[in-house]
Each structure stands twice: as C-alpha cells, then as structure tokens.
Amino acid sequence: MQTTPEIEGLKKQVAANPKDAEALSKLAVAYQNASDWNNSLQTWVQISTLLPDWAPAYYSQGIAYQNLKNNESAKAAYEKYVAMVKPEEVEANKKNLAYAHFFIAYALFETDKNAAKTHIAKSLQYDPSNTDAQNLSKSLNG
C-alpha cells in the first residue's frame, strides 16, 4: 500500500478530529492520487456518513468502485450522486453529471435499454461533445 507524507499528515489530522469533513475530503483525494482505491473508497463512505446530502462524495465513490472493478457498486454510487445533485448545483456539476449518466447508461446497456436511453440522453444534454456518449447513443437508438 502506497503512502505519502501528505497522506500520513492528513491521517493524523483526521485521527485528531474524525468529524473534520474537509480533512477527510483531502485525505480521500490524496488516496485517489496515490491510486489507493480501497482507502479512498472507505474515506468517501466515511464522508457520506458525516455529510449524507453532499453529492460529490457519491461521485467519488463511483470512481473508486470503478477502479476496484466493481461496476455494480459504481453504478449505484453514480445513481445516488445523480439523485443528490440539487437544481442549483447542476451547472457546476455538468461534467460529472454527464459522466455519471454515461456510466449508468453503459451499465444498463444489456439489461434495460429504455433506462439506458434515458441516461444517455441526459449525459448528452450535459455534455453534447462526448464522443463515447454519442457512440453509445447510436448503439442504443440505431
């Protein structure tokens, strides 16, 4: 398991104050940057427990699950993220929303084409230039 001075410092900060969401968030990102997906995931889950309405934590869980090759859990985390983004936060989250909807559509491709079509349409609404989403849309609607 890879560690860095930054991770070690943040672990001490979190140990001193386990409810410090900002330090936890920095620690989760530091784990991500070190490609330590298990610890990153655990830290994001901890943040979601502290701040259950904070959508970005669910997006980050999706990324961690994806890197751990757990696509079903990644899909569930992205679905939670999409559901949690507040209307006033949509503009600032367009890129992440586009990716989350793309991943959900991709995950549903074989099992629920209608739901997949809905998600890919939303993905393209948020990011019309995404060629992966365009190609998936063509496959679904073609």
What is the full DSSP assignment across 75-118?
Answer: HHHHHHHHHH--GGGTGGGHHHHHHHHHHHHHHHTTT-HHHHHH
- The CA distance from 40 to 44, in Å, is 6
Cβ neighbors of 56 (< 8 A, separation 6 or more) are 81, 93, 96
- The CA distance from 25 to 118, in Å, is 32
pLDDT tens track for 5-20 = 999 999 999 999 999 9
pLDDT tens track for 18-46 = 999 999 999 999 999 999 999 999 999 99
Quote the pLDDT of residue 3. Answer: 87
Q: Which helix (H) or strand (E) holds 127?
A: none
